[in-house]
Amino acid sequence: MNDTHARQGTAPQGEGYEIRLQGHLDARWSAWFDGLDLSREGDGTTVIHGPVLDQAALHGLLQKVRDTGLPLLSVSQVEPDHPAAPTTRP
């Protein structure tokens, strides 16, 4: 926990990230990605978004992305409650 969170008495929420993959993953993959939101876009991409606790968790998440076999298109830091681009649900 960093000093800011310790002083405020709150648990760290993590930074928001949006990860875009080429191809579609089914919603069942959400559990494998630690409950992050998955959206299948009309352009043939999947967007994984939500809060990531720290850099170590981000690297672990990116290893899981690698293991899907889908090409990684982008990783963007965003506001935790708001994805960088509008998404649609399946």
Task: Give residue-wise pLDDT tens across range 26-50.
Answer: 888 988 998 899 999 999 999 999 9
The ranges assigned to domains in the chain are: 13-78
**Which pLDDT score is estimated for 6?**
38
Q: What is the CATH number of domain 13-78?
A: 3.30.70.100
pTM flag (> 0.75): no
Q: Starting from the edge strand earliest in sequence, which strands make up the sheet with 72-78, in order?
A: 37-40, 45-52, 15-22, 72-78
CA atoms within 13 A on the CB side of 17: 20
How many other CB atoms are there within 10 angstroms of residue 86's CB atom?
Answer: 9
